[in-house]
Structure formats: structure tokens, C-alpha cells
């Protein structure tokens, strides 16, 4: 099965679940007064669910083209690319999301930028840390002082 069809199938399941919720899960919760109106919160989702199922089926049955764009990535040879780097960076982003509040913006961002460069193969450590720290402080200053959006700079325990 090609990736397109797999995604089509996934979307079919998603639409069915969404439709199930729209058709059977929502209307009982509606207060009686709202049941007299012609449009319910579930009306539009019901239409969307039906259309979604049809579109997913269309993707699944339509002939898939094997040719891929020459400059784009061929997912069937994914292991030939820097998959490890990409996955580590995604992991790093998740770590950043989880650590941003507890250890503060400056520490989290410096760590993220430095480790990001490290993962990509940078080995000049002093440059790495310096660039990351300058970047973090500059952006914190811009966001906090120029834009006036609060970002907690230090760890929350301080």
C-alpha cells in the first residue's frame, strides 16, 4: 500500500470517529431550548463527516502516481537521509516544550540552540555556546522589552 492510500485510510478512520461523535455523541447534551433551533452544534460537523468519508474513499480508490518530484524527498528511501538527526531534533523540540516553563526561557533557549547545532555536527564548542547565548538573550530582550510580551527568563524556582 502506498503512503497516500495509508493516509487516506487514516483519514477515513478519523472521519468515521468524528462522524460518530457528531451523529451520536453530541446531541443528547444539548439543552432542550436549543433543540428547537434549526442548526445544532452537530449540524455542520455531520455534513463535514460525510464529505470527509467520501474524500477519503476517493483518495483510496484513485490511482496513485509513482513519480515523485525530483527535488523532493523520496520517502521510500528515508533511511538514506539524515533521519537520525531529524528525529533527534524533533525530540529536542519536545524537550524544549517541556522544559521551557521549569528552567526558564534563557536557559532552555541557550540549551536548545547549542544542542541543535551540536546534533547537526557543530563541534566548535565555545562558538556554539556563545552564539546560542547571544541569540537567546537578544530574542528575550526583543520579545520582552520591544514587544512587551512576558517571558519568564529564569527558572521558576528562583
Partner 1 sequence: MLEGILLGLSTALSIQNLLMVTGGCLVGTFIGMLPGLGPMSIIAIMIPVAITVADPAAALILLAGVYYGAVFGGSTSSILINAPGVPSTVASSFDGYPLTRQGKAGKALTVAAIASFAGGTVGAILLMAFAPALVSVALLFHSAEYFALMVVGLSAIAAFAGKGQVAKATMMTLFGLILATVGESALFNAPRFTMGLMDLQSGLSFITLAMALFALPEAIYLVLDPKRSQTGGGKSGEIKELYITKAEARQIAPVIGRQSIQGFLIGVLPGAGATIASFLGYAVERNIAKGADQEAFGKGSLKGLAAPESANNAASTGSFVPLLTLGIPGSGSTAVLLGALIALNVQPGPRLMMDNPEVFWSVIISMYIGNVILLILNLPLIPYIAKVLALPRNYLVPFILFFTMMGSYIGQNNATELLILVGMGVFATILRFANFPLAPLLIGFILGQMMEDNFSRAANIADGASFLWERPMTLGMLIIALALIVLPTVRSRSGQPHKPKPPEGPTP
Residues that bind partner 1 (CB under 8 A): 2-4, 7-8, 11, 14-15, 18, 21, 26, 29, 34, 37-45, 48-49, 51-52, 55-56, 58-59, 62-63, 65, 68-69, 71-73, 75, 78, 81-83, 85-86, 89-90, 93-94, 96-98, 100-101, 109, 112-113, 116-117, 120-122, 131, 135, 139, 143, 147-150
Measure the CA–CA gap between 96 and 88, rounded to whole angstroms.
12
Kindly state the smallest distance separating residue 18's Cβ from partner 1, in Å: 6
CB 110 within 8 A of CB 136: yes
Residue with Cβ nearer partner 1 (80 or 158): 80
Least separation in angstroms between residue 158's CB and partner 1 is 18
- Pick the closer one to partner 1 by CB: 122 or 155: 122
CA 44 to chain centre: 25
By the 8 A CB rule, do 108 and 94 touch? no
Q: Give me the least distance between CB of 102 and partner 1, in Å please.
A: 10
Nearest distance, CB of residue 67 and partner 1, angstroms: 9
Cβ proximity to partner 1, 79 vs 158, nearer residue: 79
CA angle 65, 51, 67 (to 5 degrees): 5
Contacts of 48 (CB under 8 A, 6+ apart): 18, 22
* Residues 6 or more apart in contact with residue 154 via CB below 8 angstroms: 104, 106, 107
Residue that the C-alpha cell 547571544 belongs to: 134
Q: How far is the CB of 48 from partner 1 (least distance, A)?
A: 5
Task: CB nearer to partner 1: give 59 or 158.
Answer: 59
Could you tell me which of 89, 136, 84 has the C-alpha nearest to residue 111? 136
Cα(120)–Cα(85) distance, rounded to whole angstroms? 7
Give whichever of 32 and 121 is closer to partner 1, judged by the CB atom.
Answer: 121
Amino acid at each position: 500500500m502506498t503512503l497516500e492510500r495509508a493516509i487516506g485510510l487514516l483519514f477515513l478512520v478519523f472521519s468515521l470517529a468524528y462522524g460518530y461523535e457528531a451523529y451520536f455523541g453530541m446531541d443528547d447534551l444539548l439543552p432542550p431550548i436549543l433543540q428547537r433551533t434549526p442548526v445544532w452544534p452537530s449540524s455542520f460537523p455531520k455534513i463535514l463527516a460525510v464529505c470527509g468519508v467520501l474524500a477519503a474513499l476517493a483518495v483510496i480508490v484513485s490511482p496513485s502516481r509513482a513519480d515523485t518530484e525530483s527535488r523532493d524527498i523520496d520517502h521510500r528511501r528515508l533511511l538514506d537521509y539524515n533521519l537520525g538527526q531529524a528525529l533527534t531534533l524533533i525530540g529536542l523540540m519536545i524537550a524544549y516544550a517541556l522544559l521551557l516553563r521549569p528552567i526558564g526561557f534563557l536557559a532552555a533557549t541557550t540549551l536548545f540552540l547549542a544542542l541543535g547545532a551540536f546534533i547537526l555536527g557543530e563541534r566548535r564548542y565555545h562558538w556554539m555556546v556563545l552564539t546560542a547565548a547571544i541569540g537567546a538573550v537578544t530574542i528575550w530582550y526583543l520579545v520582552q522589552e520591544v514587544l512587551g510580551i512576558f517571558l519568564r527568563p529564569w527558572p521558576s524556582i528562583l
